[in-house]
Amino acid sequence: MPHRFLVPTLLSIILSSFVFISQCSPPEQQSQQQEQQSSVQQTPTPELAEYMSTMSYYTHKFALAVDAQNQELAQFYFHEIRAIADEIKKDIPGYEGYDIARLMELFLDPTIQPVEDALADRNWETTRKVAIDFIGSCNTCHNASGHGFVNVTPGFDNNPYNQDFSVEE
């Protein structure tokens, strides 16, 4: 190889090996990070307040959809509420010495079917009444589990969301 080619060739070998090394190490670090993250995710400690917060959020949206007499939307939110209630029973059967699953069954569960029936019938007057009963049962359970100071209201007529709850024309 002529001398004038040798230096650039050596340089390019050194350079490309640098590029190779620097490309190699980040994925290694990434996979280490992923390992650390997944070991954290393997031992989740579900926080009851977070489930409750989400349930409360959907409950208010549900009430606003009832207010707007929007069956499809109200059913959608009520379905979400039910799903979270089921998750709580499964994931957090006990909390601070309270049998949460049992209390949910005792207070919340009996108020669910009347809401579904009234909604299915588009009987808005009844839906409103049983929705109030349903939300009342949230507070009954708060009282029974040492959290009576968390007082949930339906929040009808009180839309803080960037969302129009009315039926599509």
Contacts with ligand HEC, residue ranges (CB under 6 A): 48-49, 52-53, 55-56, 59, 81, 95, 100, 103-104, 107-108, 138, 141-142, 145, 147, 150, 152
- Would you say 85 and 100 are in contact if contact means Cβ atoms under 8 Å apart? no
Cα 15 to its chain centre, rounded Å, is 49
The CB-of-143 to ligand HEC minimum distance in angstroms stands at 9
**C-alpha triplet 161, 150, 79: angle, nearest 5°:** 50
Cα 149 to its chain centre, rounded Å, is 23
The CB-of-95 to ligand HEC minimum distance in angstroms stands at 6
The CB-of-14 to ligand HEC minimum distance in angstroms stands at 58
Nearer to ligand HEC, 52 or 73 (CB): 52
| Segments of the chain assigned E as strands | 94-95, 98-99
How far apart CA 12 and CA 91 sit, in angstroms, is 58
Nearer to ligand HEC, 12 or 53 (CB): 53
Nearer to ligand HEC, 27 or 148 (CB): 148
The CB-of-25 to ligand HEC minimum distance in angstroms stands at 42
Q: What residue type is 53 in one-letter code?
A: S
> Helices 124-144 and 112-120 sit at what angle, rounded to 10 degrees?
170
Nearer to ligand HEC, 99 or 164 (CB): 99
Nearer to ligand HEC, 27 or 110 (CB): 110
The CB-of-31 to ligand HEC minimum distance in angstroms stands at 35
How far apart CA 111 and CA 138 sit, in angstroms, is 10
